[in-house]
Structure 1
Amino acid sequence: MRRNMIETVLGAVVLVVAGFFLIFAYKSADLRKVEGYTVTAAFSSIAGLSAGSDVRISGVKVGTVTSLTLDRTTYQALVHMSIDPGIKLPKDTSAMVASESLLGGKFLAVEPGGDDQMIAEGGRIEYTQSSPGLEQLLGQVIFSLQNVGKQGEGSSAAPAGQPPRL
């Protein structure tokens, strides 16, 4: 009977510690939805970006992607976001779809410009850049390596058995 009581108390301690851990993780994860003014940006590709993704300036969360739609005339992806009302974005602000890590999710990186005029409620970020996909990056690396190998074939390699020319 005494052993059963010790196991029960130990189980309760584990559950309390786990509860504190969950509360700490929730508070430090900054999962809140940013309420603010709406801004739109058009991209040629937003692969991996989704509603609820972060909008960040210098790595600091300043907004949330609220929805993604397709412009039926230009066939570009429209990203609708909510920006913290305390952050005013200049008209020449740029936005880019960025990766958190090699295998991580995507977020919207915003780079404020230097214009004196600010983007109003419902305004649009004009300068955008889509991030290249992993397949594109790997293809560029392989292509570059093949070109380096071809350039080395026509170099001043010495015939077999002789020292290289300097």
Structure 2
Amino acid sequence: MRSLLRENVGEAIVGVAVVLLAVWFVVFAWGRTGGGRKAGAIEIAAIFPNASGVNVGTDVRVAGLKVGSVSALSLDPQTYQVKVAMALDPNVKLPADSSASVTSEGLLGSTFVAFTPGGSPTMLRSGDTITDTQGSMDLMALIGQFINRPSSSGSSGEAAGEPATSGR
């Protein structure tokens, strides 16, 4: 048995390294997707008219700093708006009149929920719902409006090279 171990010590070390890497990956993925929430996290919700690009595990940020993550998404059957449940770091105290918006890091960047702190002396508590929200922008619709907007160069006759006629 000892001779077998001596002959295969390299393979055993590689095998242990692969198992440790797999365990690290599972722990990382669990924490990144919102599965491993911080103990005592502040559980709040926000109602968005459009939450395109937001998934479980999406970052929640204040001034660009991650302060939590999205823990669940659901559709309100009466209003057809999206209820986004979030778990926030208990050390971050946000005013109760804060607003939330779905935004991205750029044209090709990832989507996140951005909080803009309000001025209320009362802080958000677990179970609170934010209604002052702005949903995500439909980039393709904006580009389509820009491309398809009517030109402001005048009538079609002037554009074709015909002289403009006065009303006389």
Q: TM-score, normalised by structure 1?
A: 0.67
- Correspondence for 1:81: 86
What are the superposed Cα offsets for residues 15-69 of structure 1, whole Å, 9 maximum, x if unpaired? xxxxxxxx9xxx9xx9485521100001111111100000001110000100101
Q: How has the CA–CA distance of structure 1 residues 89 and 113 changed in structure 2, closer, same or farther, with 3 Å as cutoff?
A: same
Match for residue 103 of structure 2 among 98, 101, 109 = 98
Question: Matched residue of 1:82: which SS?
Answer: strand
In the aligned structure 1, how far is the partner of 2:114 from the partner of 2:124? 16
Taking the aligned partners of 1:119 and 1:51, their CA distance within structure 2 comes to: 21
Deviates more, 1:41-50 or 1:133-142: 133-142
Partner of 1:49: 54
The answer to whether 1:152 aligns with 2:157 is no
- In 1, Cα distance between equivalents of 2:109 and 2:65: 17
Correspondence for 1:128: 133
CA apart distance, 1:104: 2.9
* Unaligned ranges ≥5, structure 1: 1-22, 161-166
1:141 correspondence with 2:146: yes
Aligned equivalent of 1:6: none
Equivalent residue number for residue 108 of structure 1: 113
Read off the aligned partner of 1:141 and give its amino acid letter. F
Tell me, in whole angstroms, the C-alpha distance in 2 between the residues paired with 1:67 and 1:45: 15
Cα distance in 2 for residues equivalent to 1:140 and 1:90:
37
What's 1:8 paired with? none
Q: For residues 124 and 96 of structure 1, what CA distance do their matches in structure 2 show?
A: 14
Aligned to 1:67: 72
**Superposition TM-score, scaled by structure 2 size:** 0.67
CA RMSD in angstroms, aligned pairs only: 2.9
Identity of aligned residues (%): 40
CA distance in 2, matches of 1:70, 1:94: 20
| Match in the other structure for 2:63 | 58
Distance 1:50 1:120 in 2: 23
